Chains A and B, each alone.
Chain A
Amino acid sequence: MNKNKESLHLSSPAINTHMNKRSQIWAAFRSAFPYTIPIFAGFLFLGIAYGIFMHSLGFSAIYPIIMSFMIFAGSMEFVAANFLLGAFNPMNALFLTLMVNARHLFYGISMLDKYRGTGKKKLYLIFGMCDESFSINYTANVPANVDKGWFMFFVTLLNHLYWVAGAAIGGIFGSYVKFNTEGLDFVMTALFIVIFIEQWMKEKKHYSALTGLGLSVASLILFGGNQFIIPAMLAILGVLTVLRKPLEKAEVSV
């Protein structure tokens, strides 16, 4: 992408090691950024929608900015806005959040290994582990010469920035947006479909992918859009546990 990388390398060993570290970080940034471009579009749009939503509920721009920065879990922030409008019930807020965000538990279990050895960045990687950061960091083919820790750090950081920027723009300028954005939110669906295909092509057996897809559809039909996640997760966990023996024999290729 960028051809002036060579020009960064200068003489003197001291400068060289310093430059090496910097160019290493810069290389990680450059390979991470293209992966986040779809999220740039999606988060800016959704963030603006969220900011406008908060604006329409009568909250000043500082609310979407602080909430997008601190919570950084898209769907939950829309729900949190409703908490703020209702009666004060902190326990209810806590438990509903745990339910809506329970899927993060699966992300964490999947990232135990990948986040290992990332040093101080690990805390931030876990803090910012939203759906999009998780799925990119899990599936991306990081080039061998790029530092994986910094790569994942920049994916997470850029996504976080897009989301806060979107929420800020929406909260501040919400009432002026006129361009017809209907349907732009499909960018997130498209992203997950692409990641699903990429993951599909990487593995030899598709038990797990099909289990996830099939049981989620079944759970959605049975329990409806607002309550299907927890039953789907339990069913996935159950089926994958039962399939452990046969699957481990067929060795999972990831």
Chain B
Amino acid sequence: MTMTMTQQMITIAMVVLGTMLTRFLPFMIFPSGKPTPKYVQYLGKVLPSAVIGLLVIYCLKDVSLLSGSHGIPELVGAAAVVLLHLWKKNMLLSIAGGTVVYMVLVQLVF
């Protein structure tokens, strides 16, 4: 380790600062005392669906379709989650079922 303790603490503090800026900034710019601009209210309504879609893709960002297992375990696991959820609508069952399918695939099949 090349850094001194102080330098490490400053580095960690910078990561904390950066993270907290991204979390607190919207609340500082649009305090609850003042009316939020209509455009921002609109964004607050439509962004969640889009950003949850972004999160799903974010989880799959390291999947390679062209090499290794070609993303088949991810596809089958995701399909299992979707089907289970449409069938039983039980959050825990869908998540656990899909994860077990995926683990079996990556550990025993691929």
Complex contact B85–A102 (CB within 8 A): no
Given the complex of chains A and B, what is the CA–CA distance between A122 and B26 in angstroms? 13
Chain B residues in 8 Å Cβ range of A209? 49-50, 52-53
CA distance A87 to B10 in the complex (A): 12
Query: Which residues from B are CB-within-8-Å of A180?
Result: 107
**Interface membership of A31, Cβ < 8 A:** no
Give the shortest distance, in Å, between B63 (CB) and chain A (any CB): 9
Interface residues on chain B, size class? 35 or more
CB distance from B37 to the nearest CB of A (A): 11
Query: Is the CB–CB distance between A212 and B49 below 8 Å?
Result: yes
Q: Considering the chains assembled together, what is the distance between the CA atoms of A103 and B22 in angstroms?
A: 8
A136 CB, nearest partner CB in chain B, Å: 10
Please count how many residues in chain A sit with their CB below 8 Å of the partner chain's CB atoms: 101
B residues near A41, Cβ cutoff 8 Å = 99
Residue of A nearest to B57 (CB): A216
- Docked-complex contact A109 and B40, CB < 8 angstroms: yes
CA A252 to CA B44, docked complex, whole Å: 11
Nearest A residue (CB) for B78: A193
Q: How far is the CB of A135 from chain B (nearest CB, A)?
A: 6
Q: Mask for B33-45, Cβ within 8 A of A = 1, else 0?
A: 0001001111111
**Could you tell me the dominant secondary structure of chain A's interface residues?**
helix
A108 within 8 A of B: yes
> For the complex, is A190 an interface residue (Cβ under 8 Å from B)?
yes
Smallest CB–CB gap between B99 and chain A, Å? 5
Per-residue 0/1 for B44-58: is the Cβ within 8 Å of any A Cβ (1 yes, 0 no)?
A: 111111111111111
Q: Which residues of A contact B92 (CB under 8 A)?
A: 34, 37-38
Binary interface encoding of chain A residues 112-141 relative to chain B, with 1 for a CB under 8 A from any of its CBs, else 0: 110111000010001101010001001100
Q: Does B18 contact A (CB under 8 A)?
A: yes
Q: Report chain B residues within 8 Å CB of A88.
A: 2-3, 7, 10-11
Within A193-244, the residues touching B (CB, 8 Å) are 193-200, 203, 206-217, 220, 225, 228-229, 232-233, 236-237, 240-241, 243-244
Inter-subunit contact B42/A112 (CB<8 Å): no
A173 on the interface (CB 8 Å rule)? Answer: no
Give every chain B residue within 8 A of A243 (Cβ-Cβ): 46
Task: Give the one of A37, A111, A116, A190 with max B CB within 10 A.
Answer: A190
Query: How many Å from the CB of B65 to the closest CB on chain A?
Result: 10
Q: In the bound complex, do residue B36 and residue A112 qualify as a contact, i.e. CB atoms below 8 Å apart?
A: yes
Complex interface: chain A residues within 8 A of B105 (CB): 183
Q: Closest approach, in angstroms, between the C-beta of B6 and any C-beta of chain A?
A: 9
Partner-contacting stretch, out of A5-13, A15-23, A77-85, A160-168 = A77-85
Mark A176-192 against chain B: 1 for CB-CB distance below 8 A, else 0.
00001011101111111
20 A-B interface contacts by CB (under 8 A): A80-B15, A85-B1, A87-B2, A88-B2, A97-B19, A101-B23, A106-B47, A106-B50, A106-B51, A108-B26, A109-B43, A112-B32, A126-B24, A189-B59, A213-B56, A215-B50, A217-B57, A228-B57, A228-B61, A229-B54
